[in-house]
Amino acid sequence: MAAMDGSKINQATLVLLVLALVVGTYGQTCPNQLANLNVCAPFVVPGSTDLMPNSDCCGALQSIDRDCLCSTIQVATRLPTQCNLPVTCGN
């Protein structure tokens, strides 16, 4: 298996941290739903040439409970600030 570079390890760590935080809030259902989003990885990894999600990704996203998805997004957007990591995103 090829070694992962530091940025991919950081991304994987962030995903696991978000999942752990959601587990505390929603029990096992939400993390199980979020785990199904692995099929979307090719479309969200920086530098990917796959720009349009396929039907598997869209189906996985559509199957997630709205509260689970919204809470996960809220947690993910708060993490950099809470960890004193200044992040400026843009094109």
Mind listing the pLDDT tens digit for each residue in 5-61?
A: 566 666 666 666 666 665 555 556 888 888 888 898 888 888 888 889 999 999 999
CB under 8 Å, gap of 24 or more: what pairs does 54-63 form?
60/36, 61/37, 63/33, 63/36
Residues 53-79, mean pLDDT to the nearest whole number? 90
pLDDT of the residue at 54: 94
- Contact between 65 and 30 (Cβ < 8 Å): yes
Tell me: pLDDT of 87 over 80.
no
pLDDT of the residue at 46: 81
Report the phi/psi class of residue 84: left, alpha or beta, with left for phi > 0 and alpha for psi in -120 to 50.
Answer: left
Tell me: pLDDT of 1 over 50.
no
CA 55, distance to chain mean position in Å, is 18
